[in-house]
Amino acid sequence: MIVAKLNLLNLLAEKDVTPQELQNKTGLDARTIRKMLDGNVKTLSFDVVARICTALDCGVEELIVIKKQTA
């Protein structure tokens, strides 16, 4: 099984950016950002990923961590 996880909380800390600042830089709704920080999203559009990566000056591979889980 493959598990994809957002690394958003760590990136915000690393880049010294608050959720409010991310909201201002991306134009995303505060509830959307909160859901991502809480791990309550199952899908993300390319547009959202691009906005976050641009705002945080990071690559997709830094934002989304993909791991294979073995049984």
Q: Print pLDDT tens along the chain (71 aa).
A: 888 899 999 999 999 999 999 999 999 999 999 999 999 998 999 999 999 999 999 999 999 999 888 86
Residue 25's φ and ψ, nearest 5 degrees, are -75, -30
Looking at residue 71, what is its pLDDT?
Answer: 67
- The one-letter amino acid code at 43 reads T
Burial 50-67 (b: 16+ CB within 10 A, else e): ebbbebbebeeeebbeee
Looking at residue 2, what is its pLDDT?
Answer: 85
Q: Which residues face 64 on adjacent strands? A: 6
Written as six digits, the tokens of 71 are: 């049984």
Looking at residue 12, what is its pLDDT?
Answer: 98
Q: How far apart are CA 31 and CA 68, in angstroms?
A: 29
Q: Go through the domains of the chain in sequence order and give each one's CATH number.
A: 2-68 (1.10.260.40)
